[in-house]
Structure 1
Amino acid sequence: MTALLRKSDEGTEEAEPLVDRIAAVARRELTPIALEIDEGTIYPDQALRHLGDIGAWSAHADLRDTINGISVIGETCGSTAFMAWCQNTLVWYILNSDNAALKAKYLSATASGRTLGGTGLSNPMKSFFGIEKLKLKGKRVDGGYVVRGALPWVSNLGPDHLFGTIFEAEETGEKVMFIADCVDENLSLTPCKPFLAMDGTGTYAVQFRDVFIPDDQVLAAPAMPFVKKIRAGFILMQMGMGLGLIRDCVAIMDSVKPSLAHVNRFLPQQPEDFAGLLAKMEAETMMLAATPYETSNDYWRAVVDLRLRAGDAAVAAAHAAMLHCGARGYLKSHRAQRRLREAYFVAIVTPATKQLRKMLADNAREQQGDHAH
């Protein structure tokens, strides 16, 4: 696990785990502004860069470190945990690309947080499972591609940010995954309408008007084998959002015990129930994240199933936290109601609960078909 040396009280050097450094930055920099991030008055780019300075976006040698980092951010702020997932996913794409020129151009800047960005895979992920049509089209030109189309939601963006997404080549139908740069004058960002929660996540609709994508911005062509390689990591890193949120919901329920335990004991779900569920999910996540490149169907099903349960558990834990808090949780200033709104996001962000269920059903049908032959 990644660590930095620090002096102990006795003067000897000891390692401070990366997760502790991330937690310290999150508590110090995000706690005071979590409400404003939620309401959309602050996009916390400064905190994201500081997290990059301490190594939060460069821990992909062991995906367990990355997930733990996202989860301790998620204990404080669900919005920033989502942006942490966006940033880590962007680095994950670049790290896994075979394009040496692309890595030289982008890896150091994104892994250090000097350059921030996100992932525009919501529409492509839905298209692969027959839910939507692919929205970007591209054609081959000298030295690269020209891309046009629009993506309705891409997060953790700004005028100098990057994101990874996929277009379909008009001539061949081949899918190509690439890095888009928001600096391009033919690429425009339009702010989305206000959300229920998490408004400060730099989420925009993105329009491509004949944007030139040079070959050193192509992550993979064809894209599909690459997507298969990165998909488990993509989904497992989302577990950080759910685990951090559930952990804070347990803390919220525990915090009202001194004054409300005498009546809260009649509620059907107790903090101890969620603490047990959380421990089980964390263990499963760490086990699966140890081998993110595994190719077996059983492994892939286990990843999808875990992610499905995390969305359900996040909503259940936040719902229970609201009931345990009672009227005080209903105040706009109380984080219990923010947690409930953030929990719905864990359940609907791509791949959403309904898509995960469809993926499991499609997979079961495919396996039955294979056995039938």
Structure 2
Amino acid sequence: MTLNTLIENKLDPYLVEIDDGSHYAKDFIQDLFKENHFSKQDIEKNLLTIEQVSNSCLTTGFCLWCELAFSTYLQHASTNYLNTELQNKLLNGEILGATGLSNPMKSFNDLEAFNLNHYYIDGTLYVNGKLPAVSNIGDDHYFGAISKAQDGEELVMFIVRANQEGIKLTEMSNFLGVNGSATYTIQFDDVIIPEKHIITKDAKSFATQIRPQFVTLQIPIALGSIRSSLDLIHKFSTAQNGINQYLDYDVDAYEAQYQQLRTEFYELVHAHKDELSAYFADIIRIKKEAGYLLLEVNQASMVNGGARAYSHKAPQARKLKEGFFFAALTPTLRHLGKLEAELKQQA
């Protein structure tokens, strides 16, 4: 089934329900993988799929990013169980995966303390603590996480399944932009991590290795939503005898900035997909610029839409929340600014 057909039949009819939190597009997400709309090797294909889905629904595009972030962990793991067996199940739609790395990514930049801690008994790893928000999660989903040793500096990255003994899920709802993304607070109470689920005991180096791809996969989420809001602006440009011509928003400038960002992004990925680490500064800048443009365009679309846009079911109102959510997606806009400043100092 084509991507357009899946979006039209299994995503678009549920946009209001996703926004109000009564629907999580699990079947749609699994069907995308079952129908081979994602690839283990082709990052450009994956980016374009996320972008097209985000054009319809940023929330679901974000859930796809969660899946591919998890896939990135498996891709760089050293064991056959993780990088082949579990990876193939994910890409075939047999299992779903998520990222629990929001807190560690902030911790590596001294923005937060590590929320998970671990200790060993007879060589077995036990984990405690709480992750405040993990998205694209259900009882049978897998996710990645990082814990810090209770009595030292060791940082372990591992894979865990949400229905393991000692794990408790508490759903988050009515958090702006998060509805419909299956987001939960996750409590760990002496959770045993099997040896085969441990990715590395040098999690900081591993996170540095995957971080460029981690952020790269987020950019098409914004690009898809920007395009959708620009299309909404054009759709209502002649409303009420052309009254929108008197707004001060420069829609032509928005279009030009969007086209420039999108072209630059895909050209960078096409030319350097195997060496993204060397272009991390550009990736950060593009995500930052896309995030701010998304906020501006979504606000312009809201005002441009007039009274009809102020219904909670209106696409403009939904996309206004999408922009705020993207701004808070780790690395957040303010976190990106800090990373940018640090990289300039290192140059």
TM-score, structure 1 length as denominator?
Answer: 0.88
Is residue 2:294 matched to residue 1:309? no
- The Cα of 1:144 is off from its aligned counterpart by 4.4
Is residue 2:108 matched to residue 1:131? no
Measured in 1, the distance between the counterparts of 2:277 and 2:50 equals 26
Task: Please name the residue that 1:370 is paired with.
Answer: none
Measured in 2, the distance between the counterparts of 1:30 and 1:348 equals 24
Task: Please name the residue that 1:294 is paired with.
Answer: 275
Task: Please name the residue that 2:54 is paired with.
Answer: 74
Task: Name the SS for the 2:175 alignment partner.
Answer: coil
Deviations, residues 102-145 of structure 1 (Å, cap 9, x unaligned): 23441111112221121011100000001000111112345641
Q: Which amino acid aligns with 2:342?
A: D
Q: Given the superposition, is the C-alpha separation of residues 270 and 60 from structure 1 closer, same or farther in structure 2, using an over 3 Å criterion?
A: farther
Measured in 2, the distance between the counterparts of 1:59 and 1:235 equals 18
CA contact (8 A) 1:37 1:198 kept: no
Task: Please name the residue that 2:32 is paired with.
Answer: 51
Q: Given the superposition, is the C-alpha separation of residues 360 and 139 from structure 1 closer, same or farther in structure 2, using an over 3 Å criterion?
A: same
Task: Please name the residue that 1:27 is paired with.
Answer: 8
Q: Which amino acid aligns with 1:33?
A: Y
Is residue 2:23 matched to residue 1:42? yes
Measured in 1, the distance between the counterparts of 2:54 and 2:154 equals 37
CA contact (8 A) 2:157 2:200 kept: yes
Q: Given the superposition, is the C-alpha separation of residues 296 and 233 from structure 1 closer, same or farther in structure 2, using an over 3 Å criterion?
A: closer
- The Cα of 1:270 is off from its aligned counterpart by 4.2
Structure 2 residues without counterparts, runs of 5 or longer: none
Deviations, residues 323-350 of structure 1 (Å, cap 9, x unaligned): 2111111122210010011111111111
Measured in 1, the distance between the counterparts of 2:150 and 2:341 equals 31
For residue 202 of structure 1, the aligned residue among 182, 185, 201 is 182
Task: Please name the residue that 2:166 is paired with.
Answer: 186
* 1:106-121 mapped onto 2 (5 Å cutoff): 106-121=86-101
For residue 41 of structure 2, the aligned residue among 61, 69, 78 is 61
Q: Which amino acid aligns with 1:277?
A: Q
Measured in 1, the distance between the counterparts of 2:132 and 2:342 equals 26
Runs of 4+ in structure 1 over 4 Å off: 141-144
Q: Which amino acid aligns with 1:313?
A: L
Percent identity over the alignment?
Answer: 29
Deviations, residues 212-265 of structure 1 (Å, cap 9, x unaligned): 111211122211222122111110111121001001001101111243572212
Q: Which amino acid aligns with 1:37?
A: I
CA contact (8 A) 1:256 1:324 kept: yes
Task: Name the SS for the 1:37 alignment partner.
Answer: helix
Task: Please name the residue that 1:226 is paired with.
Answer: 206
Q: Which amino acid aligns with 1:262?
A: G
- The Cα of 1:23 is off from its aligned counterpart by 3.1
Is residue 2:318 matched to residue 1:338? yes
Measured in 2, the distance between the counterparts of 1:63 and 1:277 equals 24
**Matched residue count:** 346
Measured in 1, the distance between the counterparts of 2:72 and 2:216 equals 12
Task: Name the SS for the 1:32 alignment partner.
Answer: helix
Measured in 2, the distance between the counterparts of 1:348 and 1:75 equals 19
Structure 1 residues without counterparts, runs of 5 or longer: 5-20, 368-373
Measured in 2, the distance between the counterparts of 1:73 and 1:326 equals 26
CA contact (8 A) 1:143 1:215 kept: no
Measured in 2, the distance between the counterparts of 1:213 and 1:188 equals 15
Q: Given the superposition, is the C-alpha separation of residues 340 and 295 from structure 1 closer, same or farther in structure 2, using an over 3 Å criterion?
A: closer
When structure 1 is superposed on structure 2, of 125-134 and 217-226 the one drifting more is: 217-226
CA contact (8 A) 1:233 1:289 kept: no
Task: Please name the residue that 1:160 is paired with.
Answer: 140
Q: Which amino acid aligns with 1:45?
A: K
Measured in 2, the distance between the counterparts of 1:244 and 1:191 equals 27
Deviations, residues 47-105 of structure 1 (Å, cap 9, x unaligned): 1111111123x324121211111110011111101101111111111112112222344
Q: Given the superposition, is the C-alpha separation of residues 191 and 359 from structure 1 closer, same or farther in structure 2, using an over 3 Å criterion?
A: same
Q: Which amino acid aligns with 2:32?
A: L
Q: Given the superposition, is the C-alpha separation of residues 260 and 61 from structure 1 closer, same or farther in structure 2, using an over 3 Å criterion?
A: farther
Measured in 1, the distance between the counterparts of 2:174 and 2:5 equals 30
Measured in 2, the distance between the counterparts of 1:128 and 1:47 equals 34
Task: Please name the residue that 1:12 is paired with.
Answer: none
CA contact (8 A) 1:137 1:149 kept: yes
Task: Please name the residue that 1:257 is paired with.
Answer: 237
Q: Given the superposition, is the C-alpha separation of residues 235 and 197 from structure 1 closer, same or farther in structure 2, using an over 3 Å criterion?
A: same
CA contact (8 A) 1:139 1:169 kept: yes
- The Cα of 1:276 is off from its aligned counterpart by 1.9
- The Cα of 1:306 is off from its aligned counterpart by 1.0
Measured in 2, the distance between the counterparts of 1:171 and 1:36 equals 46
- The Cα of 1:209 is off from its aligned counterpart by 0.7
Is residue 2:263 matched to residue 1:283? yes
